[in-house]
Structure 1
Amino acid sequence: MWEHRASRSALFDDYDGLEEGGLKLSSSYSHEIKEHDNDNEMDNLKERVVFLKRLTGDIHEEVESHNRLLDRMGNGMDATRGIMSGTMDRFKMVFEKKSNRRMCTLVIAFVVSFLIIYYLIRALMHG
């Protein structure tokens, strides 16, 4: 029985030594695999960063383009507002004078009559 325990103990002692050596070898190999995986992940991360940088650059260019377009539209609207304001001031001056009011009414009646005749002729020719 003691022999059995002694041989068993020797067997496990050898097994422990193999396991230790195996762990060292496995640990070194595992470390290399982890470094390789880390390198791959770093490369993937670099690619993503480059992609995101390019994407943010494209977004920035698009925003700048839209800002320039909006600035031009704003300037155009300001110019139009100035023209409309001047036109409204002239209409006010025309309507303030009684004789000019009759002339303006006559012009408006002429324009409306012209538009009605134009649409009637157009409808008869196409209809």
Structure 2
Amino acid sequence: MNSRREYRGGRAALFDGIEEGGIRASPIYSHEIDEQDNNRAIDGLQDRVLMLKRLTGDVHEEVESHNRMLDRMGNDMDSSRGILSGTMDKFKMVFEKKSSRNMFTLVAAFVVIFLVVYYFTR
């Protein structure tokens, strides 16, 4: 009877990792697999975080360059507004004098400028 227990105990020790339908991994091996999976997942997350960091850095640089460009454009518009207001003041002075000679000179200048621009663009 003692030999029968030894046989059963030996058999249980031999087939300890086998269950119905497949082999059961030992807890130590399963823990190593879980750690490897976790390490792979962490590496994948690190790669994604680095990629997102580079992307956000690129977006930040792009936004900064657009802000600088918009500031320059705003300054240029302000200076253009100043030039145009000066020109409009001069036109007002010319039209207020109601001098036919000044009006003829102004119209002739516009026609000549138009013809020169037309000639060079053709």
Q: TM-score, normalised by structure 2?
A: 0.71
CA–CA distance in 2 between the matches of 1:78 and 1:64?
Answer: 21
Q: CA deviation at 1:56?
A: 0.6
- Please list, as runs of the form range in 1=range in 2, the aligned pairs for 1:54-65 lying within 5 A after superposition: 54-65=54-65
Q: Which amino acid aligns with 2:91?
A: F
Preserved CA contact (<8 Å) 2:95 2:103: no
- Gaps (5+ residues) in structure 1? 1-6
Q: Which amino acid aligns with 1:75?
A: N
- Provide Cα deviations, 1:4-36, integer angstroms capped at 9, x if missing partner: xxx9xx96xx55x666x4278522211211110
Distance 1:38 1:63, change over 3 A: same
Q: TM-score, normalised by structure 1?
A: 0.68
Q: Which amino acid aligns with 1:109?
A: V
Q: Which amino acid aligns with 2:104?
A: L
After superposition, the CA RMSD in angstroms is 3.1
Q: What is the aligned-residue identity percentage?
A: 52
What is residue 4 of structure 1 aligned with on the other side?
none
CA–CA distance in 1 between the matches of 2:46 and 2:84?
Answer: 56
- Provide Cα deviations, 1:32-82, integer angstroms capped at 9, x if missing partner: 111101001101111111111111111101110110011001000100001
Preserved CA contact (<8 Å) 2:17 2:25: yes
Distance 1:43 1:81, change over 3 A: same
What is residue 91 of structure 1 aligned with on the other side?
91
- Please list, as runs of the form range in 1=range in 2, the aligned pairs for 1:1-127 lying within 5 A after superposition: 15=12, 21-22=16-17, 26-99=26-99, 102-114=100-112
Q: Which amino acid aligns with 1:26?
A: S
Distance 1:29 1:91, change over 3 A: same
- Gaps (5+ residues) in structure 2? 19-23
Q: Which amino acid aligns with 2:67?
A: N
Q: How many residues align?
A: 109
